[in-house]
Amino acid sequence: MSRRARKHRRPLPIGLITAWVATLVALVALGPAGPAGATGAQRSDAVPSPTAPHRGIVSQNASDAPTPGRDAAVHAFVEQRAKLRATLSGDSAGTPSDAAATGADASLAPTHNFWGVFPQPGTHDGITATHSVDPSYRVTNSQNFTYAPTTKAQNSCMEVVTAYWSQGAEIWAWDWCGTSGPAKTLKVNADFLAKYTTTANGVTSYSVQLTKDATSGNSWSSYLYNHRTQVWELLFRSSGTDQSSLDHGWDIFEIYATVNPATGKGYFCTEARSTAFDSADIKLRRGGAWQLATSTDSPWTSTNPRGSDFLCPSLAFTRAAQNHHWTVHP
């Protein structure tokens, strides 16, 4: 080829090259597009700030109101739960089942056990966490309940529970200063999922907060974070004397389970095999400031829990972060 035939290219402007590089880097960082809400597609507000605005009220549809079926289920275990709570102390939460049974009684006597962290007395006047919820997890046996995650602050008037039972998944505001039962219930339906959940740590999750009110006496408020409006909405408020008979708080995985005769394991062990029970970003409020839970203020209920004590030998307990993030998976 002759020199005349060659075309000499002029160098590109340095500004244009810089713009191209920046665009390429941005596209690589975004990664491949996927459906909204897909597992792992965590939004920037997946873990909200505890100090985000607090306004509005979590509405309760008529279908969420207490029903005879739910009331009967609650009444069946409320006395046993109160008795167990009153007698537990220290590290006893990690010991074998309270209602361990053998032989023919194993499928009849419910096993109660739990694992997570116990925020200690005098360390906080508020707690917040981001909890997983799985509407696809179905409990088939009416004597079985999974409360995971469930959280309560020291001396707080309520416990906010992710409750799985035979009629579906619900969020309960358990009144510890009044009825000692679920004072407000929300079905985990399409409306709840759209308002209060996002993807955090690869699972559908909602964020909850319990705080002592700036008033005299033992008055507490609980909130759910609305991802649409980006505010904390009031779930339930109560005041009085905490009737849990425990001086610490908790953020735990908890079961009331019986043995499925067909498998020799707890019903939940197979029914929840595709479910990850996750509690992340557990923070405590002290002196007006929110800090991640630590080994000092929120020790593990047990550092070596055993799945067999939960009627599920394969149950995996993961301390995902130092006392402020845990995961349980059958």
- The answer to whether 221 and 210 are in contact (CB under 8 A) is yes
Per-residue pLDDT at 27 exceeds 70: no
Distance CA 285, CA 127 (A): 6
Q: How many CB atoms lie under 10 A from the CB of residue 295?
A: 11
196's enclosing H/E stretch is: helix 190-196
Radius of gyration of the chain (CA): 24
Alpha helices, H only, 261-324: 267-271
Q: How much of the chain exceeds pLDDT 70, in percent?
A: 73
CA-based nearest residue to 154, from 188, 119, 185: 119
Task: Give residue 324's pLDDT.
Answer: 98
Q: In whole numbers, what is the pLDDT of the chain averaged over residues? A: 82
Distance CA 48, CA 233 (A): 13
Task: Give residue 95's pLDDT.
Answer: 40
Task: Give residue 81's pLDDT.
Answer: 55
Task: Give residue 29's pLDDT.
Answer: 35
- Tell me what the mean pLDDT of segment 89-107 comes to: 44
Task: Give residue 71's pLDDT.
Answer: 66
- The answer to whether 240 and 157 are in contact (CB under 8 A) is yes
**Residue with tokens 């409990």, as numbered in its chain:** 139
Amino acid making up residue 88: L
- Tell me what the mean pLDDT of segment 116-142 comes to: 96
Task: Give residue 216's pLDDT.
Answer: 84
Considering only residues 246 and 229, tell me which one the structure prediction assigns the higher pLDDT: 229
Strand, helix or coil for residue 320: strand
Amino acid making up residue 155: N
**Residue with tokens 């309940």, as numbered in its chain:** 145
Q: What are phi and psi of 214, to 5 degrees?
A: -85, 55
- Tell me what the mean pLDDT of segment 258-286 comes to: 97
Strand, helix or coil for residue 33: coil
Burial 299-312 (b: 16+ CB within 10 A, else e): bbbbeebbbebbbb
Q: Dump pLDDT digits (tens) for 43-72.
A: 446 899 999 999 999 998 777 766 666 665
Considering only residues 8 and 302, tell me which one the structure prediction assigns the higher pLDDT: 302
Burial 247-282 (b: 16+ CB within 10 A, else e): ebbbbbbbbbbbbbeeeebbbbbbbbeebbbbbbbb
Q: Dump pLDDT digits (tens) for 202-231.
A: 999 999 999 999 988 999 999 999 999 999
